[in-house]
Amino acid sequence: MSLSNAISNAVSGIVATSRGTEVVASNLANALTPGYARRDLQQSSRSYLAGGGGVQVDGVARIVNTSVLAQGRLASAATSHAQTLADFHKSMSDMMGVPGQPGALTTLLSEFDAALTAASARPENEAGLGRVLSAAASLAGAYNTMGNTIQQARSVADQAIAQDVATLNSGLERIADLNRQIATQLGGGGDANALQDERQRLIDMLGEIVPLKEMPREGGRVALFTANGGVLLDGSEPTRFEFVAAGQVTAASGAGAAPLGLLFVNGEEIPAAQMGRYGGGRLAANFQIRDVDAPAAQARLDAAALDLHDRFADSAVDPTLGAADPGLFTDAGARVMPPAAPGLAQRLSLNPAADPTAGGEIWRLRDGLGSAAPGPAGASGLLLAMKNALDTPRTAAPQGMSSRPRTAAVMAAEMTSFAASGRLDAERVLGAASAQSSTYATLLQQDGVDTDREVEALLALERAYAANARVLKAVDEMIMTILRLT
């Protein structure tokens, strides 16, 4: 080997090790950067005819396991979907409370029952009647709060849909722009790895909103579809989504009816029956909360509120009531006339005739809500009748529950149990989805940046650099010796 060839080989080795250290430094610096794919220096040997031997740097490759990445995105969408629903059902369970816990529905009903029992033992004691009124007001207030909580959850879901739609639109536009930049870079022989990292990060982010499938296209471009066949991006122009948030949602709001809107895709309204194309991610979960799960929770709560109303609006309990007169619990001061309008739980209130703060008289709890004048102070018949009304099984059919007869206590317990079961089911699904997502994340990490491996590569590059430097030093000594001889 001539001295010039030795110099050429050593210089090519030093250039390759220098480029290799840049790659290792990039990997270590971006080990935790979302969307970053590990870089690998691509090298090949130079032929003597091409340049006198040595090593040639062919480029820097992104190391990505595309099949694992694709499955990981689907698992991430499923986890996002399950997490959104689990958060909702947890809020519904927390809203009902734990039996025995202060403020829980069952606890408030027990306190009302106990207040009636104590008042019936001493009907002349106005303090006891006051405790009945206070317990009844707390129970009605709990229904109001729970109903408002459900509608607040719908409002939050509606706003989340609007935010996700905006994120989808901006993300798809950015990916389309990155497609163009990547094609330009690769077409000119440039390095598009950083652009591809950014594109992968955006796709991963959008994959939590709707499950995505990525398909390669010429020039380094990609096309995006939902897991169920909806087109998101295939070409230069992405699909355009539209959605108008309603603001505050009420119990009377329904999907597709003012003020709740539906999803529009490229100007076309997507009815609920066709939302399956975009199902499986956070977007679908929020639509399910807004249009299915929360309205069902409201319907069950309204059924329980109606059951409580009807128990005390019966003239067999309070003979002073007329056919149109409200009982102790009212629909915003009036008697409920079937069919009850949605949102009865929010409107449930005490009859002002027995509420001194509303101009009523507390003795009407003892003598009858329709009484014109106080009766005997020792009369306990009405208080006992109200107590028995709570303990009498009545037929009610809350949504998702059987229509068998229930006492008021059983109704409250089953409502609480139903909410807790919904939470457990949602958390079970979330646990399975999270485990699957974690598995794919682990598999992706195996192809990701391993700091130990990168340090080993750095040490190998250091040794290669030293070896090439020794070659150059040896050649330098040879040349100096030759010059001294001459």
pLDDT digits (tens, 9 = 90+) for 201-211: 999 999 999 99
Q: Which among 406, 436, 462 is the end of a domain?
A: 406
> Across residues 429-456, what is the average pLDDT?
85
What pLDDT is attached to residue 254?
Answer: 73
Residues 325 and 462 in one domain: no
Residues 107 and 24 in one domain: no
Nearest to 242 by CA among 205, 202, 270: 270
Burial class of residue 27, CB neighbours in 10 A (0-12, 13-18, 19+) = buried
Paired with 264 in beta bridges are: 242, 269
- Retrieve residue 26's tokens: 């990039």
Asked whether residue 90 is assigned to any structural domain, the reply reads no
- Please check whether residue 196 is in contact with residue 37, taking contact to mean a CB–CB distance below 8 angstroms: yes
Residue 337 has pLDDT above 70, yes or no: yes
Residue 51 has pLDDT above 60, yes or no: no
Asked whether residue 15 is assigned to any structural domain, the reply reads yes
Give the 3-state secondary structure of residue 425. helix
What pLDDT is attached to residue 257?
Answer: 56
Asked whether residue 160 is assigned to any structural domain, the reply reads yes
Residues 390 and 264 in one domain: yes
Distance between CA 158 and CA 165 in Å, rounded? 11
Residues 123 and 171 in one domain: yes
Q: Which among 373, 388, 406 is the end of a domain?
A: 406
- Please check whether residue 191 is in contact with residue 60, taking contact to mean a CB–CB distance below 8 angstroms: yes
- Please check whether residue 42 is in contact with residue 60, taking contact to mean a CB–CB distance below 8 angstroms: yes
Nearest to 264 by CA among 244, 279, 289: 244
Residues 361 and 481 in one domain: no
What pLDDT, in 10s, does the model give residues 100-127? 899 999 999 999 999 999 999 999 999 9
Q: Going by C-beta distance under 8 Å and a sequence separation of 6 or more, which residues neighbour residue 254?
A: 260, 291, 295
Residues 474 and 330 in one domain: no
Residues 330 and 391 in one domain: yes
Paired with 395 in beta bridges are: 405
Residue 96 has pLDDT above 90, yes or no: yes
Asked whether residue 69 is assigned to any structural domain, the reply reads no
Query: Higher-confidence residue: 478 or 113?
Result: 113
Residues 324 and 467 in one domain: no
- Please check whether residue 331 is in contact with residue 147, taking contact to mean a CB–CB distance below 8 angstroms: no
Longest dimension (CA), the chain: 138
Q: Which domain holds residue 475?
A: 3-64+447-485
What pLDDT, in 10s, does the model give residues 222-277? 999 999 989 999 988 999 999 999 888 888 887 655 578 899 999 999 988 888 99
Asked whether residue 32 is assigned to any structural domain, the reply reads yes
Q: Which among 340, 373, 406 is the end of a domain?
A: 406
Number of domains forming the structure of the chain: 2
What pLDDT, in 10s, does the model give residues 53-75? 778 777 777 778 888 889 999 99
> Across residues 143-163, what is the average pLDDT?
96
Contacts 24+ apart (CB under 8 A), 139-142: 139/108, 139/109, 139/112, 139/308, 140/329, 140/348, 140/349, 140/350, 142/103, 142/105, 142/108
- Averaged confidence pLDDT in the chain: 90
What pLDDT is attached to residue 137?
Answer: 96
> What percentage of residues in the chain have a pLDDT greater than 70?
97
Using the 8-state DSSP alphabet, how is residue 219 labeled? G
Asked whether residue 439 is assigned to any structural domain, the reply reads no
Q: Going by C-beta distance under 8 Å and a sequence separation of 6 or more, which residues neighbour residue 485?
A: none
CB 303: neighbour CB atoms within 10 A? 21
- Please check whether residue 289 is in contact with residue 85, taking contact to mean a CB–CB distance below 8 angstroms: yes
What pLDDT is attached to residue 207?
Answer: 95
What pTM was estimated for this model as a whole? Answer: 0.86
Strands 55-63 and 212-216: unpaired
Distance between CA 103 and CA 111 in Å, rounded? 10
Q: Which residue has the tokens 């409201």?
A: 298
Residues 189 and 276 in one domain: yes
What pLDDT is attached to residue 486?
Answer: 67
Asked whether residue 208 is assigned to any structural domain, the reply reads yes
Give the type of residue at 75: A
Q: Report angle CA 450, 452, 453 to the nearest 5 degrees.
A: 65
Asked whether residue 421 is assigned to any structural domain, the reply reads no
Residue 186 has pLDDT above 70, yes or no: yes
Residues 479 and 354 in one domain: no
Paired with 350 in beta bridges are: 329
Residues 325 and 231 in one domain: yes
Residues 246 and 201 in one domain: yes
- Please check whether residue 390 is in contact with residue 108, taking contact to mean a CB–CB distance below 8 angstroms: no
Residue 49 has pLDDT above 80, yes or no: no
Distance between CA 275 and CA 131 in Å, rounded? 51
